[in-house]
């Protein structure tokens, strides 16, 4: 009773008593789970280049959280197929992303880091989710409408993409999905599908919660500090890549747009460029942007310190990346380990799902 009153989101079949978590992604009211640590699932597409915003805003936090949650990170290469890709490029991007994530500190032994297409249960449950979702529900997805408008070729996969995303999450008895606000509608759908399936066929899935990850830093474009640094913006000079060489990083910071005043203060509204530099410096050095501002009277030294701090931050990641990318067998071993760990969980869910649906066991 008490557990219900505290909004226990865990699965009754697991039968364990919930424990309080030491640290969680979500900032909302404390929830209780059936495991000592919340199971957290996130997916990332192997497209574009990983930039400083991804690193400071997401990846660095994941490396910390892997020690406080049961974290599963998935490179969603099947989702990337919804828009036709060059096979060699997809292969390279998947390897690069895996190497960046490991180089940044995601430990394949600590968390589960894997590639979606290597765990066939995703496509299997994806189909079942397509049969659970209504056509009208998928038609309402804002991301589909956006992407379909821009695509030359609108694949059926682009339309059913959220059903596969629901399968990703539901396969792992996921408690929390820390993704940006743009994904809220997809996670709401995953919840609706879990509830509908549970109602039709009996308790099967944990109903996941969408949590907005705490923003360690919101990194803005160096050339247009009113827009978020992004993979999709065509702003190579405003986007610092995790793999940019030190000289390139220096140049990008040197050319960063500030303003025509000459006063360093932390004022994101009036001085977005300077505030962005101070925020980056603060995130990179574990400082506070307003306090850091007091140390500077001119923009030049602030830009130079910012570049130096980012270079220092990225240096070990780049070193480790260079080792990993030169050694594809290690990345392949990481992928195998991740797929094995993921499949051990996914296979149990699928056996249950098949049974619930009246399909023969395999
Ligand atoms: P995306 O590049 O949009 O696939 O995002 C991958 C992750 O990086 C998500 O968790 C985003 O919230 C985060 N992210 C992307 N761009 C930024 C940014 N400019 N500042 C902070 N976090 C970001
Ligand atoms: N759709 C997500 C994005 O575009 C990626 C994704 C696929 C995902 N499967 C997921 C995110 C499962 C969270 C959980 O960013």
CATH number of the CATH domain containing 300:
1.10.240.10
Domain count, the chain: 2
- Decide if pLDDT at 117 tops 80: yes
Residue nearest to atom 8 of ligand 2 (CA): 43
Tell which residue, 359, 337, 262, 319, has the closest CA to residue 104: 319
Q: What pLDDT is attached to residue 27?
A: 42
Q: Provide the b/e sequence for 47-69 (b: ≥16 CB within 10 Å).
A: bebbbbbbbbbbbbbbbebbeeb
Q: Are residues 209 and 264 in the same domain?
A: no
Q: Are residues 206 and 274 in the same domain?
A: no
Residue 286's domain comprises 236-325
Place of tokens 């789970």: 33
DSSP state of 18: P
Average pLDDT over residues 284-312: 96
Q: What pLDDT is attached to residue 215?
A: 64
Distances (CA, A) of 37 to 73, 96, 101, 178, 223: 15, 30, 22, 15, 41
Q: What pLDDT is attached to residue 231?
A: 83
Query: Is 341 a known active-site residue?
Result: no
Tell which residue, 141, 172, 192, has the closest CA to residue 352: 172
When pLDDT is cut at 50, 70 and 90, the band that residue 8 belongs to is very low
Q: What pLDDT is attached to residue 30?
A: 54
Residue nearest to atom 3 of ligand 2 (CA): 44
Tell which residue, 109, 108, 207, 117, has the closest CA to residue 166: 207
In whole angstroms, give the CA distance from residue 273 to residue 222: 7
Q: What pLDDT is attached to residue 355?
A: 98
- Decide if pLDDT at 163 tops 90: yes
Residue 19 lies in a domain: no
When pLDDT is cut at 50, 70 and 90, the band that residue 34 belongs to is low
- Decide if pLDDT at 187 tops 70: yes
* Contact residues of ligand 2, CB 6 A cut-off: 41-43, 45, 76, 79, 165, 168-169, 177, 179, 183, 186
Q: What pLDDT is attached to residue 6?
A: 31
- Average pLDDT in the chain: 90
Residue nearest to atom 11 of ligand 2 (CA): 43
Residue 228 lies in a domain: no
Average pLDDT over residues 335-362: 98
Residue 230 lies in a domain: no
Q: Are residues 193 and 69 in the same domain?
A: yes
180 lines ligand 1 (CB under 6 A): yes
Residue 6 lies in a domain: no
Residue 20 lies in a domain: no
Q: Are residues 272 and 352 in the same domain?
A: no
If one residue of 55, 61, 180 were mutated to test the ligand 1 pocket, choosing by the most ligand atoms within 8 A of its CB, it would be 180
When pLDDT is cut at 50, 70 and 90, the band that residue 5 belongs to is very low
Q: How far is CA 71 from the centre of its chain?
A: 11
- Decide if pLDDT at 70 tops 50: yes
Residue 28 lies in a domain: no
Q: What pLDDT is attached to residue 36?
A: 79
Q: Are residues 74 and 124 in the same domain?
A: yes
Residue 13 lies in a domain: no
Q: Are residues 90 and 206 in the same domain?
A: yes
Flag the least confident range among 31-35, 66-70, 316-320.
31-35
Flag the least confident range among 151-165, 223-237, 310-324, 336-350.
223-237
Q: What pLDDT is attached to residue 68?
A: 93
Distances (CA, A) of 256 to 238, 244, 271, 328: 7, 16, 13, 36
Q: What pLDDT is attached to residue 262?
A: 87
Q: Which residues pair with 113 in a beta bridge?
A: 73
> pLDDT tens across 73-88, in order?
999 999 999 999 999 9
State the pTM of this model.
Answer: 0.89
Q: Are residues 285 and 334 in the same domain?
A: no
When pLDDT is cut at 50, 70 and 90, the band that residue 198 belongs to is very high
- Which residues, 6 or more positions from 1, have their beta carbon under 8 angstroms from its beta carbon? none
Q: Are residues 169 and 43 in the same domain?
A: yes
Query: Is 147 a known active-site residue?
Result: yes
- Decide if pLDDT at 161 tops 70: yes
Q: Out of 147, 251, 254, 352, pick the active-site residue.
A: 147
Q: Are residues 70 and 161 in the same domain?
A: yes
Distances (CA, A) of 56 to 52, 61, 91, 216, 285: 6, 8, 25, 6, 11
Q: Are residues 187 and 127 in the same domain?
A: yes
Q: Are residues 105 and 193 in the same domain?
A: yes
User: What is the CATH number for 210?
Assistant: 3.40.50.620
Q: Are residues 206 and 320 in the same domain?
A: no
Q: What is the DSSP string of 329-349?
A: HHHHHHHHHHHHHHHHHHHHH
> pLDDT tens across 229-268, in order?
998 778 999 999 999 999 999 999 999 999 999 899 999 9
Residue 68 lies in a domain: yes
């Amino acid at each position: 009773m008490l557990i219900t009153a505290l909004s226990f989101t865990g699965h009754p079949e697991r039968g364990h008593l919930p424990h309080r978590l030491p640290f969680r992604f979500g900032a909302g009211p404390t929830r209780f789970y059936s495991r000592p640590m919340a199971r957290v699932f996130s997916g990332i597409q192997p497209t574009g280049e990983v930039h400083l915003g991804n690193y400071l805003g997401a990846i660095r936090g994941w490396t910390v959280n892997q020690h406080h949650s049961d974290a599963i990170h998935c490179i969603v290469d099947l989702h990337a197929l919804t828009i036709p890709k060059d096979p060699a490029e997809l292969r390279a991007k998947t390897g690069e992303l895996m190497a960046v994530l490991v180089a940044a500190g995601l430990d394949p032994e600590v968390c589960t880091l894997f590639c979606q297409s290597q765990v066939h249960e995703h496509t299997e449950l994806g189909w079942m989710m397509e049969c659970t979702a209504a056509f009208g529900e998928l038609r309402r997805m804002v991301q589909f409408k956006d992407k379909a408008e821009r695509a030359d070729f609108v694949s059926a996969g682009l339309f059913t993409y959220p059903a596969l995303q629901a399968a990703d999450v539901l396969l792992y008895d996921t408690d929390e999905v820390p993704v940006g606000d743009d994904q809220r509608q997809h996670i709401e759908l995953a919840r609706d599908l879990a509830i509908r399936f549970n109602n039709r066929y009996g308790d099967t899935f944990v109903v996941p919660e969408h949590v907005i990850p705490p923003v360690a830093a919101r990194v803005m474009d160096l050339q247009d500090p009113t827009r978020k640094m992004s993979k999709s913006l065509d702003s190579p000079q405003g986007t610092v890549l995790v793999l940019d060489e030190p000289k390139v990083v220096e140049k990008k910071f040197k050319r960063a747009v500030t303003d025509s005043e000459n006063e360093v203060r932390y004022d994101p509204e009036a001085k977005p460029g300077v505030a962005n530099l101070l925020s980056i410096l603060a995130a990179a050095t574990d400082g506070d942007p307003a306090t850091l501002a007091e140390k500077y009277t001119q923009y030049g030294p602030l830009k130079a310190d910012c570049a130096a701090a980012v270079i220092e931050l990225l240096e070990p990641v780049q070193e480790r990346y260079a080792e990993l990318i030169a050694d594809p067998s290690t990345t392949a071993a990481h992928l195998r380990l991740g797929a094995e760990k993921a499949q051990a969980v996914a296979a149990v869910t699928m056996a249950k799902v098949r049974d619930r649906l009246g399909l023969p066991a395999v």
